[in-house]
Chain A
Amino acid sequence: MPPSPRPFLAGLLAGVLLLPSLRPAPLRAQPHAPSRGQVEAIRTIAIDERLAAAAGLTVGDTVRLAPTAGAMGDLVRVAAITRRGADPSEVARNEFKVRLHLDHLQALTGSGDRVGRFAVRSRGDASDEPNAAPDRVAAAINQAAFGFRAYPASAVAVETSSTFRVVNRFHRAIGVITIVASAIFLLCITLLKVDERRRDVGALRLIGCSRATVLRAIVLEATLVALIGSLLGAALGWAASAIVNWYYQGLYQTPLRFTLVTPGIVAFAVVLSLGLGVVSGLLAGRRLVRTAPLELVGR
């Protein structure tokens, strides 16, 4: 996408301005053919790609931009089409965005020389702790300036990420339930698999194999099954993650990654599976080796 040529003012307002309805049909963002005189004075805007797709706009089109539905507004030219950033807080919001030059939006809405907020970049010392400079600057502004409230970016991030912390806790809870279900499933399968070989184990015991040897063999087998299963599960998880990202990135038109398969997560899954495999093998094996060999062979 071509970058915007000058700083633009982000405006949610635009969702109302260009879209008089939530429905796509009555969009008023139909391209207009400007007259020669209008071309001279025409201002430029940037629109997001969702709006471009919904209204069928491309760079160079002219549209009428009004502060309220039905008002005359200004004729403007689409100078850029922007792509959404990877901002989780915007994912589920279906609103369209238009960016205008600050003075243009002020004139269009009759806001005078007013702004909604300033973004300030601090100049920190090399010896500063992380966030020390922004905190210091915010405190200085709050102490000195009238009419402003300054927040360091970290405080804003904490506030806006609270929703995602809740979702994260929810996912962890679902994970706990899944682990419990997996543990029961694995124990059940191991028990069935070991039980299936009662006669083999009985024969091994009768020819002189010790209980410990039989138990070790069962545990080793359960561990190998768990290892292979966990590796297959990791591959399946990676594929599922790719599908989930592909689907939701397309659905919400965002570059945000919805699932991440990190080495840490894979290691956790493999270790957990191995642990469960060893424990289930031990439980099933101990139960079997305690049974009399003749009983195991059905005599």
Chain B
Amino acid sequence: MIARLALAALTRRRTRTALTIAGVAVAAAMLLDMVMLGSGMRESFRGFIDQQGFQLRLTPRGTMPFDSEATVGGATALVGALRADPDIARVGPVLGGKHFVSVDTGVVAGFLLGIDPTAQGDYRLEAGRDPAAPDEMVVSAAWLAATGRALGDTVRVAGGYDPQLRRATGERTLRLVGRGRFQMLAANDRAAAVPLATAQAMGGAERADRVSVLLVETRDGADAEAVARRIEAGEPRLTALSTEAALKFVDERLGYFRQLAFILASVSLAVGFLLVTTLVTVSVNERIGEIAVMRAIGVARGRIVTQVVLEGVVLSLVGASLGLGLGLVTARWLNGILATFPGLPAAFDFFRFEPGAAFRALGLLVCCGIAAGIWPAWRAATLPIATTLRAEAVA
């Protein structure tokens, strides 16, 4: 009965109810988008890191992985010492640099990664196999497109370019054995991975026995943070970056988006609350006479309150449900815009749908709808019956 009365009140002025639901839906969509934005970047980045399977990244002291061209010398001894640590299961040394390939139209430049194929987390094979010999190479699809080569081809690759002599340096003849998706690079980046020793040799004396990053996988049960602290204490040239520290760094770099998300989400909640409050208040004001009659014939205050609150809940629920669909569509649109950030990994999402967070946010909106109905409901339930009936009869 109460539900039927609440629905009847809402359907009495259909245009107004439809507009309110539309307003709540847009507010819910914005709220959902901002929740997705707030958690999406972090979770997306965590996904990248977890996918690599390494808990620690060791970089030259004070730097972030590949944030500068800094490298660490004595890589062989470092890797040996790390592998001897009982808490460390795997060590993946990586040397980053550039490479150049001559094509008919000029020179194609790209990223070169020197890796240990048995312990690497930089690419996922899409076709072919990992490099097994020093003269084998895995490249990205963009690299193949730019050079016009195919798997199985042999190419001359230079590790550098001497601008004074206009001559390539550190040239090697390499065979394309695999196509990979380089996870931390943009889809249009031309990237290649070769065995570490090959990359070091191509870089000349400056890069001999040096690495940019050491990826470390700890053994099950080992405390990654404790291992990181121990490594830093024992090797002053290194900074050990755990997954949590990397996520904290991302939080700092992308703090603007999280703050924007928080502000806009708060505004969306406020707009939804205001809309529902306004509609329910006006609706109650219009039905003061009816409510007074219901009270006069013995309908309890609790039932009146429940009916009015129910109107707010229905508006919020329907609006939030529509907003869920609308929010997913707009999130896709907004993600498409932010995906054009230069150098952003192709699989990186700014907006990620996390069911728990999304439904908590929409639940909060529905709670706002309930709160929005409480004041007009209380007002309706506490009307002076006789005075109201007299006033309404005169009117």
Of the candidate stretches B60-68, B113-121, B146-154, B376-384, the one touching chain A is B60-68
List, in ascending order, chain B residues with CB within 8 A of A178's CB.
Answer: 30
CB pair A181 B236 closer than 8 Å: no
Q: Does B333 contact A (CB under 8 A)?
A: yes
The residues in B between 253 and 307 inclusive whose CB is less than 8 angstroms from any CB of A are 253-256, 264, 268, 271, 274-275, 278-279, 282, 285-286
Given contacts A173-B334, A196-B286, 8 further A-B contacts (CB under 8 A): A20-B62, A20-B236, A21-B62, A181-B23, A185-B274, A188-B19, A191-B19, A287-B15
Query: A169 CA to B334 CA in the complex, in Å?
Result: 9
Of the candidate stretches B81-89, B217-225, B335-343, B354-362, the one touching chain A is B335-343
CB pair A181 B337 closer than 8 Å: no
Task: Take A184-B22, A191-B15 as given contacts and tell me if A170 and B334 are in contact as well, using a CB distance cutoff of 8 Å.
Answer: yes
Closest 9 pairs between A and B when the two form their complex, measured CB to CB: A147-B163, A69-B61, A188-B19, A181-B26, A184-B23, A147-B164, A192-B282, A19-B62, A16-B62
What string of 1s and 0s marks CB contacts (under 8 Å) between A90-106 and chain B?
Answer: 00101000000000000
Chain A interface size, as a band, is 35 or more
Task: Take A181-B27, A185-B23 as given contacts and tell me if A173 and B279 are in contact as well, using a CB distance cutoff of 8 Å.
Answer: no
Instruction: Give the distance to chain A from B341, nearest Cβ to Cβ, in Å.
Output: 5
List, in ascending order, chain B residues with CB within 8 A of A126's CB.
Answer: none
Q: Does B16 contact A (CB under 8 A)?
A: yes
List, in ascending order, chain B residues with CB within 8 A of A173's CB.
Answer: 333-334, 337
Of the candidates B15, B19, B278, which one forms a contact with A184 in the assembled complex, judged by CB atoms under 8 Å apart? B19
Of the candidates A163, A195, A287, which one forms a contact with B282 in the assembled complex, judged by CB atoms under 8 Å apart? A195
The residues in B between 118 and 172 inclusive whose CB is less than 8 angstroms from any CB of A are 163-164, 166
Residues of A within 8 A of B (CB): 12, 15-16, 19-22, 68-70, 92, 94, 146-149, 162-163, 166, 169-170, 173-174, 177-178, 180-181, 184-185, 187-189, 191-192, 195-196, 199, 248, 287
List, in ascending order, chain A residues with CB within 8 A of B275's CB.
Answer: 185, 188
Q: Does B330 contact A (CB under 8 A)?
A: yes
Residue of A nearest to B163 (CB): A147
List, in ascending order, chain B residues with CB within 8 A of A147's CB.
Answer: 163-164, 166
Query: A70 CA to B30 CA in the complex, in Å?
Result: 51
Query: A147 CA to B33 CA in the complex, in Å?
Result: 49
Of the candidates A15, A20, A22, A192, which one forms a contact with B278 in the assembled complex, judged by CB atoms under 8 Å apart? A192
List, in ascending order, chain B residues with CB within 8 A of A174's CB.
Answer: 264, 334
CB pair B340 A166 closer than 8 Å: yes
Instruction: Give the distance to chain A from B127, nearest Cβ to Cβ, in Å.
Output: 31
Instruction: Give the distance to chain A from B238, nearest Cβ to Cβ, in Å.
Output: 9
Query: A22 CA to B63 CA in the complex, in Å?
Result: 7
Query: A230 CA to B275 CA in the complex, in Å?
Result: 18
Of the candidates B163, B279, B330, which one forms a contact with A146 in the assembled complex, judged by CB atoms under 8 Å apart? B163
Query: A64 CA to B30 CA in the complex, in Å?
Result: 52
Query: A170 CA to B341 CA in the complex, in Å?
Result: 11
List, in ascending order, chain A residues with CB within 8 A of B4's CB.
Answer: none
Of the candidates B33, B68, B264, B330, which one forms a contact with A16 in the assembled complex, judged by CB atoms under 8 Å apart? B68
